[in-house]
């Protein structure tokens, strides 16, 4: 009653400062949230420690991650590890198409060596040899077209037998593109020998 009005107005502001300040909390008082588990607290500390400090560090970390992913992919292409293969090579349908193509001899895989021989023959200034080179070009192209058509038909049939309920979209074209490559240059590397049934 006899206190001054100025002191009464100051009192709530002082109390607010005390509660909002960083003074030690009473050990008996509740903190208002559950104690995190040790594993959660450690993962939070790790994530704070691993967050990049600057844009330069972030770019460096992204480059390193990309390099590691490419290295894993390269090893998978060499060894056939399904987990790290590119999306175009993943799945049992694509694996079967690869193995089916690798198990047989394809005319198209000999196109590159034959093309070099034919080009050498066509450079020779003898008209009869140049005519033979042109005829060889025609024979090779016709053989590749016939073999590819036959291979595509057989591969489509085998895929339908083996994977009746799975999407086989693009698998025949994938197999035919693989048959155009020389065996030792194919990626992923062949996992079956010639003549071996996939």
Query: What DSSP assignment string belongs to 56-70?
Result: HHHHHHHHHHHHHHH
Give whichever of 19-23, 53-57, 80-84 has the largest mean pLDDT.
53-57
Per-position b or e across 39-77, b if 16+ CB within 10 A of its CB: eeeeeeeeeeeeeeeeeeeeeeeeeeeeeeeeeeeeebb
> Distance between terminal CA atoms of the chain?
100
Quick check: 13 pLDDT over 50?
no
Least confident residue range of 14-23, 32-41, 94-103, 152-161:
14-23
pLDDT at 17: 46
Per-residue pLDDT tens digits for 58-99: 888 899 989 988 888 888 787 777 777 888 888 999 999 999
Global pTM reads: 0.65
- Burial (CB < 10 A; 0-12, 13-18, 19+), residue 179, is buried
Cα atoms in the 13 Å half-sphere on the side-chain side of 38? 0
Place of tokens 């198409």: 97
Q: Is 178 exposed, middle or buried (0-12, 13-18, 19+ CB in 10 A)?
A: buried
The pair of three-digit structure tokens given for residue 2, joined into one six-digit string: 């006899």
Q: What whole-number distance in Å separates Cα of residue 48 and Cα of residue 43?
A: 9
Better pLDDT: 192 or 54: 192
Q: Which residue in 107, 99, 100 sits closest to 189, CA to CA?
A: 99
User: What proportion of the chain, given as a percentage, has pLDDT over 70?
Assistant: 80
Which residues lie below 8 Å from residue 100, measured CB to CB, with a gap of 6+? 155, 158, 175, 198
């Amino acid at each position: 009653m006899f206190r001054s009005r100025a002191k009464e107005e100051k009192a709530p502001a002082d109390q607010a400062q005390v509660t909002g300040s960083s003074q030690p909390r009473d050990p008996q008082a509740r903190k208002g949230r559950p104690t995190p588990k040790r594993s959660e607290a450690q993962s939070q500390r790790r994530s704070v420690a691993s967050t990049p400090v600057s844009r330069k560090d972030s770019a460096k970390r992204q480059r390193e991650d990309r390099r590691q992913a490419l290295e894993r992919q390269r090893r998978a292409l060499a060894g056939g590890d399904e987990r790290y293969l590119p999306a175009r090579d993943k799945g049992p349908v694509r694996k079967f198409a690869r193995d089916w193509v690798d198990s047989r001899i394809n005319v198209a895989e000999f196109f590159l060596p034959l093309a070099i021989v034919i080009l050498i023959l066509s450079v020779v200034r003898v008209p009869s040899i140049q005519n033979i080179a042109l005829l060889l070009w025609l024979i090779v192209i016709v053989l590749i077209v016939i073999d590819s058509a036959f291979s595509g038909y057989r591969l489509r049939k085998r895929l339908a037998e083996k994977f009746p309920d799975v999407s086989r979209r693009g698998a025949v074209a994938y197999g035919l593109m693989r048959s155009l490559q020389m065996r030792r240059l194919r990626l992923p590397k062949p996992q079956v020998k010639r003549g071996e049934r996939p």
